[in-house]
Amino acid sequence: MRGCYGAGPKTAAMVKEFFRHGSNAVIAGGVAALAAAAVLGGPKQKPVPLAIGALLFFQSEYTTHRYLLHAKPSKNRFIHGLQRRLHYDHHVEPAKLELLFLPPWALVPTLAVYAALYAALTRNRDTVASLVMGNLLGLLYYEWVHYVAHIPFKPITPYGRWIKKYHLWHHFKNEQLWFGVTNPAADYVVGTYLDVADAERSGSTRFLYN
């Protein structure tokens, strides 16, 4: 992957590589399908629940990363295998794209559970479609930011460059800090944000719980 990009990958090559891995093409397809359905007479997209869906995703970004993906190893072999594939191995090989993104077999059932929960709570197909669209857009943005953080590419904006460094501190300085990926809001609120110069260097950023 590094060899094909060098120091400054072209945008087209980056985008093509992005959609070759994980669930990214499935997510984009879901966004396109929901948008098409709204145009063709299916469930409509409502701005407020769409925004709520995105916010729900960004809230879960922190809690999922900290409390599920960094949970202690399960004694159950199957669950432990999931933990390794979904996150532990990503810390071992942070630049390996095959380990970077959410796989389809994890995305589809998770999304189905969320959609069923939205349906049970709202009983309105437009609201459900809008919430799911917000989830998908939030997830697609998350995957892109995470991707950019782990490839040899310098983001254009100052915030983009900072957020890349912020995520890499989690991988290379201390894995018990900086759990956000797209933003540091929850880290500030919960207390897992420190100035990098004040943070203790961990010896277990790559091999979690080893």
- Residue among 169, 176, 170, 203 at smallest CA distance from 191: 176
Whether residue 198 is predicted with pLDDT greater than 50 in this model: the reply is yes
- Residue 24: its pLDDT value, please? 98
Residue 69 gets which letter from DSSP? I
pLDDT digits (tens, 9 = 90+) for 13-25: 899 999 999 999 9
pLDDT at 11: 83
% of the chain exceeding 90 in pLDDT: 93
Contact 145, 65 (CB under 8 A): no
> Is it the case that residue 184 has pLDDT exceeding 90?
yes
Domains of the chain, by residue range, sit at 2-156
> Would you say residue 203 has pLDDT above 60?
yes
pLDDT value of position 1: 38
CA distance 144 to 140: 6
Q: Is the pTM of this model over 0.85?
A: yes
Taking 80 as the threshold, does the pLDDT of residue 3 lie above it?
A: no
- Neighbour-count burial for 33-66, b at 16+ CB within 10 Å, e otherwise: ebeebbeeeebebbeebbebbbebbbebbbebbb
Q: What is the mean pLDDT of residues 136-162?
A: 96
Sign for the CA dihedral angle at 160, 163, 165, 167 comes to negative
Q: What is the mean pLDDT of residues 186-200?
A: 96
Calculate mean pLDDT across residues 114-137.
Answer: 98
Say if residue 210's pLDDT is above 80. no
Q: Is 177 helix (H, G, I), strand (E, B) or coil?
A: coil
Helices (H), the chain: 2-5, 11-18, 24-39, 47-63, 77-83, 89-92, 104-122, 125-150, 158-172, 185-190
pLDDT tens track for 27-81: 999 999 999 999 999 999 999 999 999 999 999 999 999 999 999 999 999 999 9
